């Protein structure tokens, strides 16, 4: 009887060890504070600030729908940050506002040239539907920026400061017509016990 009971306990314990991790879906809009490293909420906070600020500039609110392209965001932090996902989020939200247009030239220019050559020179495409060379729209402005961080650790406390800066440059004049920054501070305190 005692052997049977202890076997049952062992089976229960073993099955508990073999249990798969508890996976659940969450809202992408939820605030994420798992670690102090750059995370989804930081990306969303930066995008929110930049989009609000850009939409409020006379350049974007004049109704002329200027053409922009994103040059790049330089990562000056000591961690890997996919800066393109930050600029993609900003670009998508700005495009959805309908107040701006984006040129894809700096991202997929090779593909466009290949496709135009195929349509105009291969003899495979109906000339009535083939797109002509020389009609790309020239960009009016481009966006560029950088992200930097300062990280400090003392005892159980870790403090991280991120600063994201973005600029909008008028291609014709070379003037920076708009600039804004977003500062983020994150702190973590490790528990006394544990890792």
Partner 1 sequence: MLNPKRYVWLILLFLVGCAGTAPNILHVQAGPGGLSSKTEEINDSSLSRKLTFGEVSIRPLQLGSSMEAQVIIQNTTKRDVIFEYRFMWYDASGFELSAVTSWIPAYLTGKEARGFKSTAPGPNATNFKIMVRRPHSITDTGS
Per CB under 8 A, residues contacting partner 1 are 22, 24, 26, 28-34, 41, 44-45, 47-48, 51-53, 55-56, 58, 61-63, 89, 93, 96-99
Q: Tell the smallest beta-carbon distance from residue 150 to partner 1 (Å).
A: 18
Task: Name the residue nearer to partner 1 (CB basis): 55 or 148.
Answer: 55
Smallest gap from residue 36 Cβ to partner 1 (A): 13
> Helix (H, G, I), strand (E, B), or coil: what is residue 163?
strand
* CA pair distance 66, 59, nearest whole angstrom: 7
> Among residues 41 and 167, whose Cβ is nearest to partner 1?
41
Least Å distance, CB 28 to partner 1, is 8
Q: In the complex, what is the shortest distance from the CB of residue 66 to partner 1, in angstroms, rounded to a whole number?
A: 13
User: Judged by CB, which is closer to partner 1: 27, or 122?
Assistant: 27
Closest CA to 142 of 173, 174, 170: 170
Distance CA 195, CA 187 (A): 17
What's the burial of 8, exposed, middle or buried (CB within 10 Å: 0-12/13-18/19+)? Answer: exposed
Q: Which two tokens stand for residue 141?
A: 């402005």
Rounded Cα distance, 19 and 164, in Å? 42
Distance between CA atoms of residues 74 and 81, nearest Å = 10
**Phi (first) and psi of residue 86, to 5 degrees:** -70, -50
Residue with Cβ nearer partner 1 (42 or 142):
42
Q: How far is the CB of 149 from partner 1 (least distance, A)?
A: 17
Q: How far is the CB of 23 from partner 1 (least distance, A)?
A: 10
Q: Which is nearer to partner 1, 48 or 158 (CB)?
A: 48
Q: For partner 1, which is the closer residue by CB, 93 or 167?
A: 93
- As a whole number of angstroms, the distance between CA 119 and CA 165 comes to 41
């Amino acid at each position: 009887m005692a052997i049977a009971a202890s076997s049952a306990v062992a089976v229960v314990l073993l099955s508990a060890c073999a249990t798969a991790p508890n996976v659940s879906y969450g809202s992408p809009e939820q605030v994420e504070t798992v670690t102090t490293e750059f995370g989804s909420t930081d990306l969303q906070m930066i995008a929110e600030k930049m989009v609000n600020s850009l939409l409020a500039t006379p350049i974007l609110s004049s109704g002329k729908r200027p053409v922009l392209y994103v040059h790049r965001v330089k990562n000056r932090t000591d961690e890997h940050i996919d800066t393109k996902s930050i600029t993609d989020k900003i670009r998508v939200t700005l495009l959805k506002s309908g107040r701006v247009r984006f040129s894809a030239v700096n991202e997929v220019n090779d593909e466009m040239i290949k496709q135009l050559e195929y349509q105009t020179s291969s003899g495979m495409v109906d000339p009535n539907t083939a797109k002509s060379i020389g009609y790309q729209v020239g960009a009016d402005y481009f966006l560029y920026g950088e992200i930097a961080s300062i990280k400090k650790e003392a005892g159980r406390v870790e403090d991280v400061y991120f600063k994201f800066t973005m600029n909008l440059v008028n291609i014709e004049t070379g003037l920076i017509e708009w600039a804004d920054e977003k500062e983020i501070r994150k702190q973590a305190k490790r528990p006394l016990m544990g890792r």
